[in-house]
Structures are given as structure tokens and as C-alpha cells.
């Protein structure tokens, strides 16, 4: 078997998976592996999977099956690895069904990736490494390979204790486990030294962060004091854990962006209860008022599921009404699909017909596009601080950057501005992009 060490990681799913892929990449590179751009050149292909929705799961399995053709016909020494949530959840079954997969690594064992790959190479046998999901994750201060040139992601808490009835996360990522603040701060300091200026703190529920008495607000205060760091964002916040103290802390810290992602999921109390979200629409609306009273410019985004079991037209209209009333800056919208193990899949019949789910999703998206456009048009004429990220797709002098409210802005400028803060006057607005000129 060849000793060549080229690798590629294909990542599906959320930012947490992106981060885990970055950790694996950093570990592999520390062990002499080098990244390549496509599977045809790779000695190791890792498919880091997500099982939150059926579509993502099918895509990942389809992809690894296709890559096996390359392995079979052109690169027989290639090691094929399945990682992430699907591996954690159904790794044993998949390993048996697809014997061409050399390595299956769960959401706790990916930190051992270099050693596991070496074991596969040495033995030539298939290895399945899936620890008990309660096993502590020893991350230390990893050297992550970030996919973005300016902003870097740092996971602060793994897992979730909430058991929303539709969600698979507690089953594949385990219970909440906060990383020590010293390790998080050391990792961010190292990223800032590498030139990253914006940090996104990640977790299924960042507000639940707690390590020996340091809560999320306390962590934000510490991160805010890091020299050379300009901006802090975080995802995801659970509305029930977004306390007045946390809102106060966010408002008082200069580096924390005025940008909150607060998944509402539904505007109907009946559905929220079935989802086990532990808040009501009234609570959520009050929370938005509290946020806006203290952080008037806050850009608020959300997640919404349509077609949850038992959702009637009236329930859905309550969601539309809430979306209209809040006026979200953006929303990630999904059709409900049952996921194995979850309470919703075991106890509720998936009784909203697909055609109705699709029709509701369409109406919701149309409303949100109108809202996003309204929000963005309100910024025309304002001056925004923009962190310049890259050249625009149109080429020429066009640059793309992000406002503190997480809106993409296109404007003309010099490439030397990439990675810097500039002030941009907004001149035009579309639902997903602003246009402007440097002031």
C-alpha cells in the first residue's frame, strides 16, 4: 500500500460539522498529510456527514458510493472514511452494508483520526470507531484548518440536553459538554495571531455554555477582551436560554455583533408544545421586544419548520403572523421529516401531506423574501462597517464583505482591502445582498 498522504474532507451539514472537519484537517496535517482539491488525487477521503435531514443523509451516502468507483478503478490504495452524525448513529450497519468503507468514525472519535487511519493502513482491515456518546471529548487546543479567509469558527459546547421532539442532535452528539474557557481563549488567540479578525462561537445551544461557573455571558466578556479580535458572533441560541442578563452583556460588549439567531420553529403554541421547545409564542415575541429595546439595530434571523405533525392551516397561519410581526432579517425554512429515535417520529404520525408541506413552505419563503427585502431596503443611505472578505463574483474591482448585522455587501474597492474594516454607504438592496460604495 502506498505511503502517500494526500487527503480531502467533504463536509455536509451544519457549522459544527465544518468545525470538526477543520479539527480533523489540522490533526492530519500535523501528521504529515497534505490537502488536495479533489477526490481523484486523494489517498484519504473523509465524508463528514449530517443526519439532521433525510436529504443530507442520502446525498452523503450517494457521494461515498460514487467515490468508491474512483477507488475501485483508479486508486485502489485509497482509504474511504465515513465520519459525523450518520457514522455515530448507524455506523455499524453502514460498515456492514458498504464493506468498501475502510473507516467509520463517530462524533466523539474523530479526534483520533490520524491514528485510526494509520491502523487501517497497517492492518488492511475495516475499523469502526464509535464511542459511547457520553464519553468526554478531549479536544484540547486544536490547530483547526478554517475554510474561510477572514472569519473563523470555534466550537465552545458540544451536544444538547433539550430533546426537542423532532431533533436528532442529542442522540448523535450526546449531552451538553462545554469546553474549558482557557482552551477556547487559547484557540481564539492563536486564530487571531494567524490573522482572523471575526470569530463565530459555535454550539447547538451556545447559551447553555457553562464550565465550572463560567457561563456564556462570562465567556463572551473574556473573548471580548482579546486584543486584535474585531468581531464576535455566535450560533445557535435557544430562545428559552436567552436571558435578560445575556442580552445586557451582548449589548455592552463592543466586539459582539448586533446579530442574533433565535430559532422560533413555529408560531403556534400547540405545535411548540409538541416540539418540546419549552417556550410560547408570547414569550418569544416578548424576547424579541427585549432584544430590540436593548439592541435597537439587532439583525435577527430564525429557523422555522413547516408541516410538523398535527400542524393545521390555523397553526401555520399563526407562524406566518409571527414572522410578519417580528420582521426577521432572514430565516432558514424547512419541511418536517421524521428522524429515527426522535420522540416526534415515534409518537406522532407524519400527517401533513407532502403537497401541503410544500405549499406552506412556498408561502413562508415568499413572506420572508418580502421581509428581508424590507429590512435591507431600510438600510439604503446608512453607513455600515464592513469586514471585507473576498473579491466579488463579477470580477473587476468588486469586493464582498459583511456588515455587523451579517449582511453581504458588494462594492468596488482595492483587493488590498480584503481582511480590513471599511465604511460603506448602502446604495441599493436586494433580499440577500446589499450594494454600496466606500465612504
Closest separation in Å from C-beta 170 to ligand SF4: 5
Q: Please, which residue, 160 or 217, has the CB nearer to ligand SF4?
A: 160
HSE-CB at 273 with a 13 A cutoff on CA atoms is: 6
Could you give the CA distance from residue 334 to residue 357 in angstroms, rounded to a whole number? 9
- Residue 425 pairs in a beta bridge with 383, 437
The verdict on 167 binding ligand SF4 (CB under 6 A) reads yes
Taking CB under 6 A as the criterion, the residue among 164, 257, 344, 409 binding ligand SF4 is 164
Taking CB under 6 A as the criterion, the residue among 17, 51, 146, 204 binding ligand SF4 is 204
The verdict on 302 binding ligand SF4 (CB under 6 A) reads no
The size of the interface with ligand SF4 (CB under 6 A), counted in residues, is: 10
Per CB under 6 A, the segment of 70-78, 134-142, 157-165, 361-369 that binds ligand SF4 is 157-165
Closest separation in Å from C-beta 300 to ligand SF4: 17
The verdict on 170 binding ligand SF4 (CB under 6 A) reads yes
Could you give the CA distance from residue 222 to residue 205 in angstroms, rounded to a whole number? 19
Per CB under 6 A, the segment of 76-84, 127-135, 165-173, 321-329 that binds ligand SF4 is 165-173
Residue 105 in contact with residue 87, Cβ under 8 Å?
Answer: yes
Taking CB under 6 A as the criterion, the residue among 160, 172, 352, 388 binding ligand SF4 is 160
Nearest CA to 166 among 342, 357, 351, 350? 342
Taking CB under 6 A as the criterion, the residue among 238, 255, 281, 404 binding ligand SF4 is 238
Q: Please, which residue, 304 or 386, has the CB nearer to ligand SF4?
A: 304
C-alpha cell at 11: 463536509
The verdict on 169 binding ligand SF4 (CB under 6 A) reads yes
Residue 74 in contact with residue 86, Cβ under 8 Å?
Answer: no
For residue 11, the SS3 value is strand
Taking CB under 6 A as the criterion, the residue among 11, 89, 146, 205 binding ligand SF4 is 205
Residues in the site for ligand SF4, rule: CB under 6 A? 160, 162-164, 167, 169-170, 204-205, 238
Amino acid at each position: 500500500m502506498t505511503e502517500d498522504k494526500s487527503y480531502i474532507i467533504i463536509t455536509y451539514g451544519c457549522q459544527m460539522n465544518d468545525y470538526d472537519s477543520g479539527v480533523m484537517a489540522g490533526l492530519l496535517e500535523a501528521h504529515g498529510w497534505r490537502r488536495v482539491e479533489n477526490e481523484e488525487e486523494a489517498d484519504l477521503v473523509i465524508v463528514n456527514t449530517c443526519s439532521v435531514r433525510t436529504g443530507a443523509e442520502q446525498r452523503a451516502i450517494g457521494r461515498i458510493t460514487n467515490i468508491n468507483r474512483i477507488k475501485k478503478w483508479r486508486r485502489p490504495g485509497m482509504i474511504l472514511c465515513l465520519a459525523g452524525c450518520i457514522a455515530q448513529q448507524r455506523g455499524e450497519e453502514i460498515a456492514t452494508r458498504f464493506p468498501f468503507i475502510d473507516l467509520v468514525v463517530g462524533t466523539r472519535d474523530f479526534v483520533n483520526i490520524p491514528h485510526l487511519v494509520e491502523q487501517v493502513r497497517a492492518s488492511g482491515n475495516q475499523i469502526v470507531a464509535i464511542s459511547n456518546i457520553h464519553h468526554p471529548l478531549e479536544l484540547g487546543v486544536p490547530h483547526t484548518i478554517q475554510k474561510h479567509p477572514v472569519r473563523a469558527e470555534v466550537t465552545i459546547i458540544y451536544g444538547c440536553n433539550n430533546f426537542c421532539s423532532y431533533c436528532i442532535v442529542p442522540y448523535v452528539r450526546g449531552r451538553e459538554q462545554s469546553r474549558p474557557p482557557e482552551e477556547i481563549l487559547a484557540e481564539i488567540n492563536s486564530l487571531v495571531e494567524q490573522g482572523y479578525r471575526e470569530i463565530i462561537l459555535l454550539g447547538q445551544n451556545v447559551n447553555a455554555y457553562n464550565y465550572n461557573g463560567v457561563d456564556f455571558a462570562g465567556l463572551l466578556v473574556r473573548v471580548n477582551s482579546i486584543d486584535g479580535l474585531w468581531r464576535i458572533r455566535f450560533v445557535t441560541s435557544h430562545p428559552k436560554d436567552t436571558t435578560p442578563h445575556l442580552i445586557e452583556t451582548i449589548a455592552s460588549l463592543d466586539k459582539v455583533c448586533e446579530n442574533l439567531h433565535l430559532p422560533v420553529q413555529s408560531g403556534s403554541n400547540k405545535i411548540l408544545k409538541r416540539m418540546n421547545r419549552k417556550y410560547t409564542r408570547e414569550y418569544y415575541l416578548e424576547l424579541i421586544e427585549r432584544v430590540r429595546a436593548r439592541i435597537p439595530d439587532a439583525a435577527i434571523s430564525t429557523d422555522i419548520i413547516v408541516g410538523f405533525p398535527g400542524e393545521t392551516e390555523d397553526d401555520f397561519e399563526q407562524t406566518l403572523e409571527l414572522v410578519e410581526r417580528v420582521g426577521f432579517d432572514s430565516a432558514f425554512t424547512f419541511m418536517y421529516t421524521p428522524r429515527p429515535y426522535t420522540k416526534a417520529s415515534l409518537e406522532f404520525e407524519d400527517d401533513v401531506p407532502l403537497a401541503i408541506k410544500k405549499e406552506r413552505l412556498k408561502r413562508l419563503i415568499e413572506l420572508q423574501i418580502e421581509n428581508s427585502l424590507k429590512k435591507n431596503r431600510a438600510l439604503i443611505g446608512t453607513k455600515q462597517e464592513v469586514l471585507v472578505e473576498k473579491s466579488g463574483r463579477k470580477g473587476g474591482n468588486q469586493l464582498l464583505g459583511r456588515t455587523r448585522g451579517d449582511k453581504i455587501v458588494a462594492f468596488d474597492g482595492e483587493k488590498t482591502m480584503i481582511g480590513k474594516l471599511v465604511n460603506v454607504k448602502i446604495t441599493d438592496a436586494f433580499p440577500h445582498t446589499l450594494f454600496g460604495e466606500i465612504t
